[in-house]
Amino acid sequence: MKNQFFCWLFAGMTVFLLVGTVVQLQAQRTPSAGAVTSHYVPDLTVDNIFRAAVSNRKPPRILDTLSTTLEDGDIVVTRIRFESVIDSARTNRIFAYLIYPKNKHRVPALLMLHGGTQTADDYYQLGLRFARRGYATLIPDLPGITSPEWASRKGNGSSGKWAEHPYGQDHFLVLPTVRASNIYEGIITAVQSFYLLKSQSFVDPNAVGIRGLSWGGYATVMTTALLGRQVKAGFAVYGSGFYDLSSYFKTIVDKLAEPARRAWLSSLDAGRYASQIKSPFYFMAAANDTYFHPPAVAATFAQLKRLKYILFSPNNDHSLSNTPDPEATELAFFDYYLRQKGEALPRISLKKIAPNAQSSAPVIAFEVIGRLPLREANVWYTTSGGAWPTHVWQPVVPTATGLNQYRATLPNPAAGTTLHWYVTVTDDRQVSTGTDIHCVNAFRNGSL
C-alpha cells in the first residue's frame, strides 16, 4: 500500500488529508493510516462572483491626489484616492499610497494588501523599502479588512457604506446575497488596485506581483487566483483559505445556516479559488497561529499546481520572530521572479520516511536543491495535542550524509499519539524555505 496521509489533530479528533502516493505509515495500537476517523474532503465548488471585476481591466478613476512628496531625494510618494465601483448601489472612495523610484521606467511592481484592522499607513515603510530596491508599490485601504475609523483619516481617507458598520460585523454577511459581505468589497478593491498599478506608465505590466498579511494574505490568495497569469508572483504571510477546516473563523462559519455557510465558502473562501493560481507563490505561516491554523494553510497550499513554497515559523503565533530574516526571504523571492535577479530560493525534496532499524524511530531523509550553502537546517517536531497555538515545536538538527543530502531521526511517538514534523532550511542570504507539515503515528514492529 502506497498512500501517504498528512495527519491533523484538532478539536479533539484526527483529520487526515490524502496527499499522494509515497508511503504508508502503519500504527501501533492506533488505527492504521487507512482507518480514518475523519477525512476532510472539501467541497471545491466555486461560485465566482468576481468575473465582472476581473474582466473589466480598465483601471479605476483617480479622484484626487492629496499630496506628492520625495523621500530620500529619489523616491516619489503620492497619496491618492480612487473610485471603486462595487455595483449600482455602492461606490467607494479608496485611499492609497503610490510609491515608486523617480525617473525610472518599466520597473517591477507590487500590490501590498494590509491585514485586519490595519490601513495602508501600516505598509508605508515597507513600500519605501521596496521602492529603494527598484519597485513601484500601490498600497490601498481594503473595505471590510481595514478599520473604518482609522481608514477615514478624519475625512481625508477612505469612505463608503461599508464604513458605517463596525469592523468585522459584515465579514460573513450573506443576505440578501453573498455580495453583501464587505469582504467582497475588499476583494473587488484589490482587483481594481492591481489594474491601477499595472496601468502606471513607469510600471512593467509584465512584472507585477501581490503580497499581503493575515486578512491581506487571504486577499493575496484570492486576488492572485482571480487574476491568473496577469500576476507574476504572490506572497501570503499567514493568510489562507479553508476556514471551515481549522481556523479562528471556523466557529463563525459553522454557526451560519447551511445555505449561507455554503454560499460564503463557495464564493469567498480563498481555498476554493487557490487552484487557479498560475504564478510562483509563497506561503509564510506561523506554526502556532491563532487565526490561520496549519491544516487550513496546508490545504490551501495543496491546491496550487505550479511552483510553490511554504514555511512554518516554529512556536510563533501570528509572528515570524523565530524565522531568521523573513524580509530577506520575501525580497529574494520577488527579486528572482519579478526582476530575474539573484539565485532561486532553496527547495526541499523529501526522499524517505522510514523507521530506524534498531529503535523504530522515524527517520527523515531529504535533499536541498539550491546553489548556495546553508546556514542552518532543522526538522521541527511536536507530539503536543490540542489546539494548534498550544503546540510546542522542538528542533532536530539533521546530519549531512552527502552533497545537499540530510537525515534526521525523530523520537518515536508513544502508542496512541501522533508526531507532527516539518523541515526548514536557511541559506547564507538568510533566505528560508520549508516543507508542509507531515505526521507519523507509532510504527508497528519497525516496518512500513
> pLDDT for 242-295, tens place per residue?
999 999 999 999 999 999 999 999 999 999 999 999 999 999 999 999 999 999
Query: Within 10 A of 254 (CB to CB), how many other CB atoms are there?
Result: 11
Query: Would you place residue 18 in the very low, low, confident or very high pLDDT band (cuts 50, 70, 90)?
Result: very low
What is the 8-class DSSP label of residue 414?
A: P
Cell reading at 305: 499546481
Query: Cα–Cα distance between 30 and 107 in angstroms, integer?
Result: 56
User: Residue 442: what pLDDT?
Assistant: 56
Domain spans of the chain, in order of start: 51-338, 346-441
Q: What is the per-residue pLDDT across 177-215, written as a single tens digit (0 to 9) for each?
A: 999 999 999 999 999 999 999 999 999 999 999 999 999
User: Residue 35: what pLDDT?
Assistant: 18
Mean pLDDT of the chain: 89
Between 386 and 173, the higher pLDDT residue: 173
Between 17 and 93, the higher pLDDT residue: 93
Same fold across 51-338 and 346-441: no
Residue with cell string 460585523: 169
CATH number for 346-441: choose from 3.30.830.10, 2.60.40.10, 3.90.79.10, 3.40.190.10.
2.60.40.10
- What pTM, to 2 d.p., does this model score? 0.90
- Paired residues of 6 in beta bridges: 17
Helix (H, G, I), strand (E, B) or coil at 23: coil
User: Residue 418: what pLDDT?
Assistant: 87
The CATH code that applies to domain 51-338 is 3.40.50.1820
Residues 6 or more apart whose Cβ sits within 8 Å of residue 243 = 249, 250, 253, 265, 269, 271, 296
Helix (H, G, I), strand (E, B) or coil at 267: helix
Cell reading at 437: 507539515
**CA atoms within 13 A of residue 148's CA, in its CB half-sphere:** 15
Q: No. of H helices and E strands in the chain?
A: 10, 20
Helix (H, G, I), strand (E, B) or coil at 52: helix
